[in-house]
Chains A and B, each alone.
Chain A
């Protein structure tokens, strides 16, 4: 039985898993953005803190997902919440790093011009720095999202549901149909999210910042 037939026969199950997977991805990436973007802005103001904080976020990234889920299981129990906590931790670094570098790489002469013509700190941030860092920030979100789509399959282990459920069931029962029914949609989902975010990025980039066409 191919995984497509399986999916057709178990539409409710597939839909549940898909929706749950999307929820896991969206919530954790959103939480990652809520933490990382302000933190990245903060670090761009206090650059001495940037290295330690970015290293810490990098350290989290190196802990294997299974270990993190294990720790979350011990301290936070099973279900969606612990899975979201773990996924959010993984979503942090790319967004944080890209926000920080996006802002710090804004041409210094622009900041000086902005200050010199009488913009306040907040105006410089919102009218100059963030618009110019936007494309870098969105790239960070894109990287995080693609990561999280794949990491979220692990969350099935923790009883959080999602496409990971199908994969783990398949692994446990030597059933390749289940594995494929989880793995292939999640791979497609990663591509679709990446493409969608790419479109958003294009729409949000003003003409002046796009490649100059001759």
Chain B
């Protein structure tokens, strides 16, 4: 179990961590995620005392880690970094056995460990143990990096964006392997990433950080269902939208609409429609509330030059409010005689317009998770 209690850290004027408190249960896969500079790596490096807090305490299994010699502490915590950091002057076997050797394991013991670990990731001992890191592919190197962290069977393993530099296919394989190893060996893993896909795939618990604070600490499912902050929602992007329940009329509307006051004159309005290439206008009252719509046919057939358009307003366009469920807005649109739905703010001013085009765009975005222009 790892606990942070009111941990604060700053470099000069910049505050990196603000009064951070959380607890990680033993045997859990915990992912720290957030935008660059959010403090996730600093948090990770505090667990093995590569960085010391200015204020606050960190406990591992109830023990204040500042009371433990940092070198001893680090030998009981595995560490994997993005740059892999295998020692190029040592063979694969020597690299994996570094920590067991530092801990003075007898030779037959660390040799057995190396053999077992290599088998576990499908890299036979005979073929690989005597190779140097430069003779391995990037994915194989990081496998060895992970094995080095596991060699002395530490209960906790820290991983700092370990797969960030690998190609997507290798990354996927290694994610599966690490998850499998973690389940099998029941390690507590603290894993830093900025890739939400990776976090959702690997984590039992996700800790989302921003500007040195935790915005949300929750299971992946919970975070998907109820992101506590817009930033988290934007990080989840495409995953979020699948849960349609949270969508409202606001998600489907376009906000660029052409409004005219009811006191506008006929010719002026026709001119406006022509320049904006629209066939109807939204008409507003003097207090900016929605009054109705006016179409080009109506103006052409009934309008007289110089007259105000107030008398020609019709109210056949369906109206929804901005917080209304997306489904309701969708149904309105399908049955709308005008081909559009007017969206109003709670104070009856115009918020936007749902057209078939805006609906299609929004559905596309929801489906594929990216902005469609």
Report A's interface with B, CB cutoff 8 A.
Answer: 107, 109-110, 112-120, 123, 127-128, 131-132, 206-209, 212
Contact = CB atoms under 8 A, between A and B. Distances in A.
Contacts of B133: 208
Contacts of B86: 113
B132 A117 contact: no
A116 B135 contact: no
A157 B148 CA distance: 59
B74 A208 contact: no
Interface stretch (B75-83, B106-114, B171-179, B330-338): B75-83
Nearest to B102: A118
Nearest to B131: A208
B83 A107 contact: yes
Given A112-B81, A117-B75, A208 B148 contact: no
B56 interface: no
A116 B88 contact: no
Nearest to B99: A117
Nearest to A121: B71
Given A110-B87, A131-B89, A208-B89, A116 B48 contact: yes
Given A115-B50, A118-B71, A119-B71, A207 B99 contact: no
A133 B81 CA distance: 22
29 contacts: A107-B85, A109-B84, A110-B85, A112-B50, A112-B81, A112-B85, A113-B81, A113-B83, A113-B84, A116-B48, A116-B50, A116-B79, A116-B158, A117-B75, A117-B98, A118-B72, A118-B102, A123-B102, A127-B87, A128-B87, A128-B89, A131-B89, A132-B89, A206-B89, A206-B132, A208-B89, A208-B133, A208-B135, A212-B134
A201 B78 CA distance: 34
A55 B274 CA distance: 78
A132 B102 CA distance: 19
B328 interface: no
A128 B84 CA distance: 15
Given A128-B89, A209-B132, A212-B135, 12 more contacts: A110-B88, A112-B85, A116-B158, A117-B79, A117-B99, A117-B149, A118-B99, A123-B102, A206-B132, A208-B90, A208-B91, A209-B89
B83 A109 contact: yes
Contact of A208 (B71, B98, B134): B134
B261 to A, nearest CB: 65
Given A116-B50, A116-B74, A116-B81, A207 B132 contact: yes
Contacts of A109: 81, 83-85
A107 B81 CA distance: 13
A206 B83 CA distance: 21
In order of increasing CB-CB distance, the 4 nearest A-B pairs are A208-B132, A113-B85, A109-B83, A118-B75
